[in-house]
Amino acid sequence: DQQVKQNSPSLSVQEGRISILNCDYTNSMFDYFLWYKKYPAEGPTFLISISSIKDKNEDGRFTVFLNKSAKHLSLHIVPSQPGDSAVYFCAASANNQGGKLIFGQGTELSVKP
Amino acid sequence: DTAVSQTPKYLVTQMGNDKSIKCEQNLGHDTMYWYKQDSKKFLKIMFSYNNKELIINETVPNRFSPKSPDKAHLNLHINSLELGDSAVYFCASSPQRRQGLANEKLFFGSGTQLSVL
């Protein structure tokens, strides 16, 4: 019973173009969402987050969009760079459930020069 | 000068053995975690400790026993290892969570690849 799902295991994008990574969730009590980035042989590192009271949060080349009615969020990277090649994890948490993070299974992004 | 360090990085062992994974953080955080990345790549929380006190204990077999000697360390001991325990185990830490906020920005170690033969 996976409450957070990333249905695309991989994505390949040309350098300079937009990368769009998607994430779906089932628990309507989630009120905070995060994206983590992971390089091989390293642990995930925090990238960007969004509270459920917002529908968009932007940080440089990274923007996260939240559609609560669809229980869907997405991460946009523009322009994509080869150094963005990594696995991206979506995560969600709910205050009334102890705040523990529930992760998706990740999407491997490959940005080709 | 690693913020969250865990050892060993790789661990290969036989079924039935007992093994430990160590984790240390130098960020001054109060909360530490163990996550397991299974074969389907999901990262799943196992345990969480806040200032040496157990606060999250998911439905993990009792062969797994976390130990926190102080708030900078959270070790994971596994008894009677089984084939299904093969996975990557990540330690993480976060600043003390303020009451009512679910904005846990975790800082992860680089993982321990456990292979049970």
User: Contact B102/A42, CB-based, under 8 Å?
Assistant: no
Count of pairs with CB atoms under 8 A, one residue in A, one in B: 64
Q: How far apart are CA B27 and CA B94, in angstroms?
A: 9
Q: How far apart are CA B20 and CA B91, in angstroms?
A: 13
Q: What is the mean pLDDT of residues A12-26?
A: 98
pLDDT in tens, B9-30: 999 999 999 999 999 999 998 8
Q: How far apart are CA A9 and CA A31, in angstroms?
A: 25
Best interface-test mutation with A: which of B106, B107, B110, B112 has the largest number of A CBs within 10 A? B106
Query: Which residues in chain A touch residue B3, judged by CB atoms under 8 angstroms apart?
Result: none
Q: How far apart are CA A48 and CA A57, in angstroms?
A: 8
Whether B54 and chain A come into contact, CB under 8 Å, resolves to: no
Residue A61, class by beta-carbon neighbours within 10 Å (0-12 exposed, 13-18 middle, 19+ buried)?
A: middle
For B9, the token pair is: 């990085």
Nearest CA in chain B to A43: B110
Whether B92 and chain A come into contact, CB under 8 Å, resolves to: yes
Nearest 5°: phi and psi at A82? Answer: -55, -35
Q: How far apart are CA B20 and CA B38, in angstroms?
A: 18
Whether B46 and chain A come into contact, CB under 8 Å, resolves to: no
A4 pLDDT above the threshold of 60: yes
What is the per-residue pLDDT for B100? 40
Q: What is the mean pLDDT of residues A41-59?
A: 94
The pairing of beta strand A107-112 with beta strand A10-14: parallel
Q: Nearest Cβ partner of B100 from A41, A95, A103?
A: A95
B103 pLDDT above the threshold of 70: no
pLDDT in tens, A60-105: 999 999 999 999 999 999 999 999 999 999 999 887 766 688 999 9
Chain A positions contacting chain B at CB under 8 Å are 2, 9, 31-32, 34, 36, 41-46, 49, 51, 89, 91, 93-95, 98-106
User: Contact A93/B104, CB-based, under 8 Å?
Assistant: yes
Closest by CA to B37, choosing from B81, B116, B84, B90, is B90
